């Protein structure tokens, strides 16, 4: 018994040693900055002078003082429009492609690799490529459109027009996130027993009925996961807005995402207290939406 207890104690110590680097990372680089940011959200601090405690004033000004912070609600609206443009499209396209890849057609593995390449590609490289695609003079998109009959009327300065800048960035995000979503949907499709489809075929169900009655319900937990992670990721969109607009969120703030606005307050206007308050407002919004999704979306298959 003593030897057994000694071995268990050694195993416990070994286990704690293995997770020690992760614990250090969590406390030093995640938890500590979060708590420090929470403190500074109740202060006015420009990173050069001492912070002055102002209580909930930062939160009140952001939410209600549109003269002082007019871009807070603008950035929130831009982000919500971006989510509506990007998330449903990426989910539908990735599910369709996952269904095609799941059929085991020739070259499936090659297509899986091709779709996943954007996920592991540098964000800067992706932004540079899409900046060239959208270029108003020598861009690939305008070049292809100009080949169509009356195509000159279809060409645009995609990133410099209010009506096209945000959809253009949403299209870029859809392309960049397909690989991950396809991979998750494929994993979900592999868990569906073939007997369900065989029984449905015997009952006379067509392909569409199988999709509605079997595939969609069984994929509900997978879809729930992708909706939650997709919403969180889309609400924190920053890199493409920053890289494609040089950090301005233009034209006319049409691509000023919430996190880009937060970045501007922190490092352009030196309003670290306001930026910290914005980060916690973002946390509360994501928490509320996640709770709503938990209530509304089915997560279990009967």
Q: Write out pLDDT tens, residues 127-146.
A: 889 999 999 888 899 888 88
User: What is the average pLDDT value for the chain, to the nearest integer?
Assistant: 89
Residue 96 to residue 226: CA distance in whole angstroms: 15
Angle, CA of 9, 15 and 20, to the nearest 5°: 125
| Ranges 6-15, 126-135, 162-171, 201-210: which has the least confidence | 6-15
For residue 76, pLDDT over 80 is answered with yes
Tell me the pLDDT band of 2, cut-offs 50, 70 and 90.
low
User: Mapping DSSP to helix (H, G, I), strand (E, B) and coil, where does residue 53 land?
Assistant: strand
Residue 159 to residue 284: CA distance in whole angstroms: 31
Helix (H) or strand (E) holding 52: strand 52-53
Q: What is the pLDDT of residue 94?
A: 95
The yes or no reply on domain 61-296 and CATH 1.10.3720.10 is: yes
Kindly give, in sequence order, each residue whose CB lies less than 8 Å from that of residue 217, ignoring residues fewer than 6 positions away.
Answer: 298, 301
Closest CA to 249 of 62, 72, 59: 72
User: Mapping DSSP to helix (H, G, I), strand (E, B) and coil, where does residue 111 land?
Assistant: helix
What mean pLDDT comes out for the span 283-301?
Answer: 80
What is this structure's pTM?
Answer: 0.89
Tell me the pLDDT band of 298, cut-offs 50, 70 and 90.
low
Distance set, CA 260 to CA 41, 73, 85, 222 (Å): 17, 13, 18, 30
Angle, CA of 82, 217 and 224, to the nearest 5°: 35
Tell me the pLDDT band of 198, cut-offs 50, 70 and 90.
confident
Q: What is the pLDDT of residue 154?
A: 73
Residue 243 to residue 249: CA distance in whole angstroms: 10
Q: Write out pLDDT tens, residues 14-73.
A: 788 888 999 999 999 999 999 999 999 999 999 888 999 999 999 999 999 999 999 999
Strand partners, 52: 44
Tell me the pLDDT band of 274, cut-offs 50, 70 and 90.
very high
Closest CA to 180 of 99, 112, 128: 112
Q: What is the pLDDT of residue 284?
A: 95
Helix (H) or strand (E) holding 60: helix 57-64
Q: What is the pLDDT of residue 231?
A: 92
Closest CA to 142 of 166, 240, 150, 151: 151
For residue 105, pLDDT over 80 is answered with no
For residue 301, pLDDT over 70 is answered with no
Q: What is the pLDDT of residue 230?
A: 93
Residue 139 to residue 7: CA distance in whole angstroms: 66
User: Mapping DSSP to helix (H, G, I), strand (E, B) and coil, where does residue 279 land?
Assistant: helix
């Amino acid at each position: 018994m003593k030897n057994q207890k000694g071995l268990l104690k050694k195993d416990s110590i070994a286990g704690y040693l293995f997770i020690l680097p992760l614990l250090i990372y969590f406390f030093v680089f995640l938890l500590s900055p979060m708590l420090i940011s929470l403190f500074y959200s109740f202060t006015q601090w420009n990173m050069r002078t001492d912070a002055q405690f102002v209580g909930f004033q930062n939160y009140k000004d952001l939410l209600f003082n549109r003269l002082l912070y007019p871009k807070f609600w603008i950035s929130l609206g831009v982000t919500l429009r971006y989510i509506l443009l990007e998330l449903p499209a990426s989910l539908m396209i990735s599910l369709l492609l996952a269904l095609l890849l799941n059929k085991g057609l020739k070259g499936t593995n090659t297509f899986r690799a091709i779709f996943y390449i954007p996920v592991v590609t540098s964000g800067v490289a992706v932004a540079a490529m899409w900046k060239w695609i959208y270029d108003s003079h020598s861009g690939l998109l305008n070049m292809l459109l100009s080949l169509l009959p009356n195509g000159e009327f279809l060409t645009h300065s995609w990133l410099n027009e209010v009506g096209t800048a945000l959809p253009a960035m949403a299209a870029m995000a859809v392309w960049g996130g397909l690989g991950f979503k396809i991979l998750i949907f494929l994993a979900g499709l592999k868990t569906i027993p073939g007997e369900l489809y065989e029984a449905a075929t015997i009952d006379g169900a067509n392909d569409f009925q199988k999709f509605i009655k079997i595939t969609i319900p069984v994929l509900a937990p997978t879809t729930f996961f992708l909706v939650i992670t997709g919403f969180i990721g889309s609400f924190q969109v920053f890199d493409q807005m920053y890289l494609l607009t040089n950090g301005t969120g233009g034209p006319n703030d049409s691509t000023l995402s919430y996190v880009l606005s937060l970045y501007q307050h922190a490092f352009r206007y030196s309003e670290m207290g306001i930026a910290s308050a914005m980060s916690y407002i973002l946390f509360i919004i994501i928490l509320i939406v996640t709770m709503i999704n938990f209530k509304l979306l089915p997560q279990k298959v009967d």
